[in-house]
Structures are given as structure tokens and as C-alpha cells.
Amino acid sequence: MKIIVLFGKPGAGKGTQAALLKETFSLVHISTGDVFRANIKGNTPLGVMAKSFIDKGELVPDAVTVDMLSAEVEKNPDAKGFIFDGFPRTTAQAEALDALLEEKCLKVDATIALVADDEVLIERLLERGKRSGRSDDTDALKIRTRFEEYNLKTAPLITYYSQQGKYQEVNGIGEIESISAKLAAIIEAL
């Protein structure tokens, strides 16, 4: 079973690449955003709890997020592996993910960061905002704030996973197929 963590700044292509890798390697794609939306829409106990924080403009506590992700893993007992997209976002979340997987006799095999220049990502996100209507993708200042949040909270994952020998980078700018091929080569080598 392969467990992959895909991360990078907003707009780096995580969702696009995760969807392609899911198909290529028959992995279960676990997108934190999708899991939140499904639990909230389904009015599950965890969804109700998450919504109570989101409605107040607060971050959903790690424990709630980990419980949702644990439920997703348990829903797929015959999975060949998982690709996590959007989680972990902090070192504390990475430690919680490691603990969750260890309970299931699993481990993260690789973390792959999609890296790209901020200005390119801002253009990409502003364009996405025109199509998606996502308010957080329509304002360059809000996008820069998200990048600052990433640099402060998520970038330390580079050190966390590098110390475990599980960190690699792929340039997130270029042809989708070319990026996919680079990601696939990393996964195949596991």
C-alpha cells in the first residue's frame, strides 16, 4: 500500500495532479476540502462540529480533521493506497497523520511538494477565480495572505519529512502531463 502526501501553495496543481495519480496508481484520493464539504452536506456529527468552527471563521481543530480522515481511510479497507491532498498543513497535523496511520500499521511513503513561483501562482489563481467563483481566488491580496500562511505553517513540513527521508519536490509549472510523469516516476520508485 502506498501512502502519498501531495502539498504545495494554493494553485500549485495539487488537485489536478492528485486526480491523475489516483487513476494511474488506483489510489484513493482524500482531499480535505472534499471531506469537509461531504461531512457538512451530509450533516454528520463531525460535519456539524466542523461547520460550527467554520461558521465562526475559525480553523477546524486538528482532532476533528483527523477523525474525518480516519473515517475516510476506514471506508476504503481494500484500497491499494491513498493520496492526501490538503492535509497535513502543519507539523502537528503531520504528527497526527503519522499516529493515525501507525494505528493501522501504515505509514506515509512519500511527500511530494509541487513548487512554483508566487507570481505565476497568483495569475493562475486569479484565472481560476473567474471560472470557479471562489472568493479566495479573486483577490491578489487574499492570495498573498494565503501564501504567507503557507510559508508560516506548511513550509515547515519540508523539514519534518526531509528528516524522515520522505520529501521530494516537483516543479508545478509546465504541461500537466509532464508534471504527472515526474510525479509518477517518484511513486513508481517507492
**Which residues are marked as active site?**
14, 89, 128, 134, 146
Distance CA 158, CA 39 (A): 30
Residues 78, 83, 90, 127: is their CA dihedral positive or negative? negative
Give me the DSSP letters along 6-39: EEESTTSSHHHHHHHHHHHHTPEEEEHHHHHHHH
Instruction: Give the integer Cα–Cα distance in Å for 153 and 43.
Output: 29
End-to-end CA distance of the chain: 10
Question: 78 φ, ψ to 5°?
Answer: -100, 15
- Dist. CA 16–CA 26, nearest whole Å: 15
Helices (H) and strands (E) in the chain, counts: 9, 5
Report the C-alpha gap between 57 and 7 in whole angstroms.
23
